[in-house]
Structure formats: structure tokens, C-alpha cells
Amino acid sequence: MFPPVAPTATGECNAPAQWPEDLVEVARVQGAWGVRGWLRLVAHSPEPVALLAASRWYYTYSACRNAPLPADGNDEQRVRGVWSVRQSRRHSGNVVADIEGIVDRTMAQSWAGAVVAVRKADFPRLGNDEYYLVDLIGMRVQNRQGVYLGSVAKFFPTGPHWVLVLDGERSRMVPFVSAYVDTVDTALRSIVVDWHPDD
């Protein structure tokens, strides 16, 4: 059973034609927090600045809890729409949020497993030499000698830093730290690293 999707209960329900093209998945709903309808979310980043900055969250709920954001609106197994965020903040390693129209714990718990995305256009601006990891996906990576090592396929955290996973002739993992990363050129979509091709 899906949670109710009436606009008065869960926020606006977007038609497929209105679904933004620049959505970035940033969190999943873990369940309810408290008794007043707040959601508890697990953010995909230890610094969920985009999630906390956005006043509108785009949700996708699926019977398949591991489902990615839908490519179109034709999947009857998915419910999607927009939540208006009244408040959101960090709490005990998670993010908790008060969503307009979600009024009690039972309703909040029914959204466990929902995917939450925000528009890339709504991400806060970053300073020089700062990057959102999602912007690195697909970038070509080469070493100082000009040897192509692969393209950034994904990333994962490990202790105090992130690791880039490269897809090329073979998979490689490169720590995203200044000791290994020389330059990131967002215009050319390329990264230069201090990395031996046999590593």
C-alpha cells in the first residue's frame, strides 16, 4: 500500500510534464521522528547542505525500496510529488523535517523508504575549489602523464574523506584529497590526479 497522495495530505502532486530534469537524489526517509508528523531522513552526504537549504523536496515512493528516481511518470508502482518543507535540521546524525500536510506519526511513518531529491538549481553556491560530488560524475580522469584512467562512476565515504570510483579499462578507486587530486576543471569536465596507472 502506498501512503495517501491527496495534495492536502502530502503536498503538491506533480504531473509528469512538470517533473524537473535537474533533480539530484539527496536522502531517503527512514521513518517518523516524534509524534507530530516529522520525518527522519538519512542523507547521502555527511554535509547535507543542499537538503537543508531547499524549501521544496521532490519525493518518489516505490514498492521497491531500492528504486532510483523514475525516468518518467509511467511507472504505476511509484508515487511522486513535491513536499513543502516548514523546517529541517540535523539531529543525532540524521535530518529531521516538518513537512506541510504530514500531521501525525502514522502518516510520517508511512513514508519510510521514500526517495528525496532537490533541484540542482537550488543547491547553495560554493566557494572556489569546492565541488559537489554529484558534479564529478562522468568527468574524465587522467594522471599527470596524460594517461586516461577512467571516468568517475560513483563515490563513497571512507573515514574523513571520499573515494572516487573510476570506470575505464578496469575499475580504480582514487581518494578525493589534495594529496592525489591536482586539478578539477568543471568547464572541461576533467580531473588530473597523481596516480600510477597500475595502482
In the chain, the domains with their CATH numbers are: 7-122 (2.40.30.60), 133-193 (2.30.30.240)
The pLDDT score that the predictor gives to residue 64 is 43
* Per-residue model confidence as pLDDT tens digits over 75-111: 445 678 899 999 999 999 899 999 999 999 999 999 9
- Taking the C-alpha atoms of residue 85 and residue 171, their distance in angstroms, rounded to an integer, is 39
pTM of the model: 0.68
Burial string for 7-42 (b: 16+ CB within 10 Å, else e) reads: eeebbeeeeeeebeeebbebbbbbbbbeeebbbbbe
* Per-residue model confidence as pLDDT tens digits over 133-174: 888 889 999 999 999 999 999 888 887 888 999 998 899 999
Overall average pLDDT of the 19-35 stretch: 91
